């Protein structure tokens, strides 16, 4: 305990530890999914949320903090940011005693929240020991005189629980700060939201996400083919976590074949280190990324569009060739393509087709809107896509 | 006596006879040590579970096959007791939270935390983490899904999830974002034929290629269904030929009847009669969506091309209502009534 805060000693110990790790086979880091391994450790590591990070970085020196509300789509860095901020504010030793994280996996009924928050808020503020060690610690971490309560995934809290929270928040505001994190800001009741400074986390744009992915790829020794990063970003739709998971799987996929052949080679008593997949791994290509992301291949989509556009023959009024559409849809469903993915790609194909009149497009978007709602409600994918395709067909054929 | 479906289930990735590319991918992931959370989706009967069980074996070795079944009791915040079955080995656990309906969150919350907070007991285990397989993940309530989110991140050193689902549409975006999506396509008809031949040989059946082809086609690329059909055909016939009748399941016979009747007679009396049959199907636990879809496909094959899109339109409409409403029978019946109207108007030359 004496040198618990002796940073020099700890650094030395850490260095010793890390110099050992490469020799031990089961390096713990390697066992982690990359999304965790590359979770930003400091505010500076968080990419793309410049405005938010800028403001939060300032709070590191100001020793005050408002209540906060982080909102934005999945995988944009909300949880990472608050955790990084807390770590920088309090440092590793005080994190536990100063920060309470409650998320959707915790019981968050009204009374439970109140109790947990109360218990936590009432505990004495843990302090830094006096003396040189404490001073050194303080130099690295401001340790402001309040605690932070993180309510992650707050949009899954009931209205009642949120209402109760409001009073709790006020009661302890002198010594606690709340940070609410959610995807949908509209699900947070107004009285709560209005007490917080709001930070919007933007869906990650191309260049910043690319930079992060390239950084990870480099650290992991993954070779990326031309366009692969763009494909990752595009398929992940602004969700960096998804992009990283895709990258990891793609890397494993191309690395795997190498690992197998390397294993064979080893038998013949050649290169001992050939098992290091990353060093000689294959290259991640656009196609592999798309395959992993579940993107429906172009030729499959083309078949669907063809079927939709093939008019029924021998009829007075226009119509679609039912059999053709039905067959393509049946195959799509049997092949397991996700209906959401199919609707998304079909939308792009139809709406960006300049040969289709705007008048038609106006009616077609209504059909897409209906289909999307139904899918989210859990309607049958087969019927929904079949209906969607047939209706688009009828509209294009001037009917329906 | 075990059903053929279970008896000849492949046990390792190498034994799987189709989707070799996917098997390679899974093997690569299993061997890499940083196995991600998975969301495995695809039509039913495509072999998702078999494939995942094989992947677990690749991850942990034959020990995962030593399973036991526990009955557990969970308590809700309102003090309700929930009985719940868990299938597990030393390395993994398999649960079906939809068994407890809207209370699934409690189960997911308690159980996963419990697993996550205990380390792998077997020190010689190949992986540090345990795997929890969640069946019917697309039926998890939003609350239960929300409860998975942070657990999946926080406890990732000790815990990996494998979610099995028919579709990803009902899985909330934050969960999709935390998993690697693995699509399992249904086997093609040819692939089904080769499985049937393989299983048939093991069972010492007289293999008839033509019959196997017909079974594959009738099964709608559903391997489980195809194997059940194969077993039924050989159980019911001494001698099997290319043209041996493939007995359809009872419920399908009823639906065919309904279709025939409502095409022939479009009257309120007929609706009443149909209602009784629909009830019967529902009380025999045939899922309403299956009833509606099967009925729709049968009807569509009996009407003019011109009407087909209209019938599909209403079928999709009422299927959605079944999902979001509460009285299944209302919507099935409404579909029947709507169908009759479309037929009537059409036969009178009116626009429907
Ligand atoms: N802005 C970012 N900068 C760097 N890495 C990021 C960023 N956003 C996401 N990531 C990566 O994605 C992972 C998930 O991010 P995080 O947990 O912060 O998402 P979130 O916004 O809380 O999502 P959710 O709404 O699903 O909870 C991180 O571990 C990190 O690897
Ligand atoms: Mg989060």
Cβ-based contacts of A239 with chain B (< 8 Å): 173, 177
Alpha-carbon span B101 to B96, nearest angstrom: 10
- Burial state string for A125-155 with b = 16 or more CB within 10 A and e = fewer than 16: eeebeeeebeeebeeebbbbebbbbbbbbbb
Percent of chain A with pLDDT over 90: 47
User: Which ligand has the minimum distance to the alpha carbon of residue A208?
Assistant: 1
Query: Among the residues of A268-357, which ranges form H helices?
Result: 277-280, 286-293, 298-309, 322-334, 339-351
B158 and B30 fall within a common domain = yes
> Taking ligand 2, which is a single-atom ion, which protein residues have CB atoms under 5 Å away?
A 79
- Tell whether B111 is covered by a domain: yes
Give the CATH number of domain A298-397.
Answer: 1.20.272.10
Q: How many domains does chain B have?
A: 3
- Residue A46, ligand 1, Cβ within 6 A: yes
pLDDT of residue B273: 94
Q: In this structure, what DSSP letter does residue B169 have?
A: T
Residue ranges matching CATH 1.20.272.10 in chain A: 298-397
Give the three-class secondary structure for B84: strand
* Cβ–Cβ under 8 Å, residues B296 and B339: no
Where is mean pLDDT largest: A73-87, A138-152, A246-260? A73-87
For B250, counting Cβ atoms within 10 Å of its Cβ (0-12 exposed, 13-18 middle, 19+ buried), the class is: exposed
Give the three-class secondary structure for B29: helix
Supply the mean pLDDT for chain B: 91
- Residue A40, ligand 1, Cβ within 6 A: yes
Alpha-carbon span A89 to A144, nearest angstrom: 7
Q: pTM (2 decimals)?
A: 0.84
B150 and B36 fall within a common domain = yes
Q: Can you read off the two tokens belonging to residue A44?
A: 């500076």
Supply the mean pLDDT for chain A: 82
B122 and B65 fall within a common domain = yes
Angstrom CA distances, A87 to A103, A266, B139, stand at 18, 45, 37
Cβ-based contacts of B325 with chain A (< 8 Å): none
CATH architecture of A206-261+282-293: Orthogonal Bundle (1.10)
pLDDT of residue A108: 67
Q: What is the CATH number of the domain that holds B83?
A: 3.40.50.300
B229 and B270 fall within a common domain = no
pLDDT over 60 at A90, yes or no: yes
B22 and B164 fall within a common domain = yes
Query: Among the residues of chain B, which ranges form H helices?
Result: 4-7, 20-32, 48-60, 104-117, 142-154, 173-178, 189-202, 209-218, 223-236, 250-264, 268-283, 288-300, 308-324, 328-347
Q: Within 13 A of B156's CA, how many CA atoms are on the CB side?
A: 24
B149 and B164 fall within a common domain = yes
- Residue A244, ligand 1, Cβ within 6 A: yes
- Residue A343, ligand 1, Cβ within 6 A: no
B168 and B203 fall within a common domain = no
* Cβ–Cβ under 8 Å, residues A182 and A188: yes
Instruction: Report the pLDDT averaged over residues A9-29.
Output: 41
pLDDT of residue A3: 42
CA–chain centroid gap for B263, Å, is: 30
The minimum-distance atom of ligand 1 relative to the CA of A204 is 1
pLDDT of residue A257: 38
pLDDT of residue B182: 92
Domain enclosing residue B200, as ranges: 189-236
* Cβ–Cβ under 8 Å, residues B26 and B252: no
pLDDT over 50 at A330, yes or no: yes
Higher pLDDT, A110 or A212: A212
Alpha-carbon span B311 to B306, nearest angstrom: 10
Alpha-carbon span A385 to B148, nearest angstrom: 29
Higher pLDDT, A43 or A14: A43
The minimum-distance atom of ligand 1 relative to the CA of B150 is 27
pLDDT of residue A33: 85
Q: How far is B238 from chain A (nearest CA, A)?
A: 33
pLDDT tens profile A281-326: 578 999 989 988 989 999 999 999 999 988 766 555 556 689 999 9
Alpha-carbon span B57 to B79, nearest angstrom: 38
CA–chain centroid gap for A308, Å, is: 35
Q: How far is the CA of B281 from the centre of ligand 2 (A)?
A: 44
pLDDT tens profile B334-345: 999 999 999 999
Q: How far is the CA of A152 from the centre of ligand 2 (A)?
A: 6
- Tell whether B245 is covered by a domain: no
- Tell whether B173 is covered by a domain: yes
Q: What is the CATH number of the domain that holds B284?
A: 1.20.272.10
- Tell whether B244 is covered by a domain: no
- Tell whether B9 is covered by a domain: yes
B139 and B68 fall within a common domain = yes
B137 and B210 fall within a common domain = no
Alpha-carbon span B21 to B223, nearest angstrom: 19
Which residue ranges in chain B fall short of pLDDT 70?
1, 119-123, 350-352
Give the three-class secondary structure for A214: helix
CATH number for the A34-200 domain, one of 3.40.630.30, 3.40.50.300, 3.90.1150.10, 3.40.50.970?
A: 3.40.50.300
B149 and B285 fall within a common domain = no
B117 and B220 fall within a common domain = no
B147 and B21 fall within a common domain = yes
Alpha-carbon span B252 to A47, nearest angstrom: 56
Closest CA relative to residue A378, chosen from B161, B102, B220, B141? B141
């Amino acid at each position: 305990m004496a040198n618990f805060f002796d940073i020099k000693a700890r650094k030395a110990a850490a260095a010793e530890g890390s110099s050992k790790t490469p020799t031990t086979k089961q390096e713990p880091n390697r066992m982690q999914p990359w999304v965790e391994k590359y979770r930003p450790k400091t505010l500076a590591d968080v990419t793309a949320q410049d405005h938010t990070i800028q403001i939060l970085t300032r709070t590191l020196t100001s020793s005050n903090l408002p209540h906060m509300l982080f909102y934005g789509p999945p995988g944009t860095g909300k949880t990472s940011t608050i955790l990084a901020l807390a770590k920088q504010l309090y440092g590793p030793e005080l994190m536990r005693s100063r920060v309470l994280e409650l998320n959707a996996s915790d019981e968050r009924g009204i009374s439970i929240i109140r109790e947990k928050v109360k218990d936590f808020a009432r505990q004495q503020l843990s302090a830094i020991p006096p003396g040189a060690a404490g001073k050194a610690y303080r130099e690295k971490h401001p340790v402001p005189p309040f605690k932070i309560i993180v309510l992650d995934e707050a949009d899954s809290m009931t209205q009642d629980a949120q209402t109760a929270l409001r009073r709790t928040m006020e009661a302890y505001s002198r010594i606690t700060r709340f940070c609410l994190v959610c995807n949908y800001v509209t699900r947070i009741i107004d009285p709560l939201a209005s007490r917080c400074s709001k930070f919007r986390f933007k869906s990650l744009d191309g260049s910043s996400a690319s930079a992060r992915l390239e950084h990870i790829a480099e650290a992991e020794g993954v070779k990326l083919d031309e366009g692969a990063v763009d494909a990752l970003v595009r398929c992940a739709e602004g969700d960096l976590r998804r992009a990283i998971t895709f990258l990891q799987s793609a890397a494993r996929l191309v690395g795997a074949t190498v690992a197998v052949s390397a294993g064979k080679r080893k038998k013949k008593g050649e290169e001992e280190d050939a098992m290091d997949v990353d060093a000689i791994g294959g290259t991640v290509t656009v196609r592999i990324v798309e395959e992993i992301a579940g993107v429906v291949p172009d030729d499959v989509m083309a078949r669907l569009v063809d079927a939709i556009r093939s008019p029924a023959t021998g009829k007075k009024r226009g119509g679609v060739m039912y059999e053709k559409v039905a067959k393509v849809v049946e195959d799509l469903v049997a092949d397991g393509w996700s209906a959401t993915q199919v609707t998304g790609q079909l939308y792009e194909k139809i709406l960006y087709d300049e040969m289709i009149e705007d008048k038609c497009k106006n009616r077609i978007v209504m059909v897409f809107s209906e289909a999307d709602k139904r899918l989210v409600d859990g309607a049958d994918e087969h019927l929904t896509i079949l209906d969607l395709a047939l209706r688009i067909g009828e509209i294009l054929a001037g009917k329906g | 006596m075990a059903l053929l479906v279970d008896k000849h289930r492949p046990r390792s990735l190498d034994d799987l006879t189709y989707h070799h590319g996917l098997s390679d991918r899974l093997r690569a992931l299993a061997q890499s040590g940083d196995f991600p959370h998975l969301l495995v989706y695809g039509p039913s009967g495509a072999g998702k579970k078999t494939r995942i069980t094989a992947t677990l074996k690749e991850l942990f070795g034959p020990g995962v096959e030593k399973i036991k079944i526990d009955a557990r009791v969970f308590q809700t915040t309102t003090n309700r007791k929930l009985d719940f079955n868990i299938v597990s080995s030393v390395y993994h656990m398999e649960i079906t939270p939809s068994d407890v309906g809207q209370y699934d969150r409690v189960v997911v919350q308690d159980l996963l935390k419990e697993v996550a907070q205990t380390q792998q007991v077997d020190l010689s285990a190949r992986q540090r983490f345990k795997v929890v397989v969640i069946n019917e993940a697309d039926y998890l309530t939003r609350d239960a899904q929300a409860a998975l989110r942070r657990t999946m991140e926080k406890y990732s050193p000790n815990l990996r999830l494998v979610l099995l689902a028919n579709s990803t549409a009902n899985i909330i975006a934050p969960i999709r974002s935390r998993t690697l999506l693995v699509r399992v396509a249904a086997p093609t008809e040819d692939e089904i034929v080769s499985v049937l031949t393989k299983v048939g040989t093991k069972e010492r059946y007289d293999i008839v290629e033509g019959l196997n082809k017909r079974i594959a086609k009738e099964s709608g690329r559903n391997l489980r269904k195809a194997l059940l059909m194969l077993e039924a055909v050989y159980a019911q016939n001494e001698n099997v030929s290319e043209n041996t009748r493939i007995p359809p399941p009872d419920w399908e016979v009823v639906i065919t009847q309904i279709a025939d009747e409502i095409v022939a007679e479009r009257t309120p009396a007929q609706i009443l009669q149909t209602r009784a049959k629909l009830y019967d199907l529902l009380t025999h636990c045939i899922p309403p969506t299956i009833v509606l879809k099967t009925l729709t496909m049968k009807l569509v094959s009996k009407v003019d091309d011109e009407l087909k899109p209209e019938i599909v339109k209403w079928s999709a409409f009422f299927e959605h209502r079944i999902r979001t409403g509460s009285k299944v029978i209302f919507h099935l019946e409404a579909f029947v009534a709507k169908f009759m109207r479309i037929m009537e108007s059409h036969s009178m030359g009116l626009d429907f």
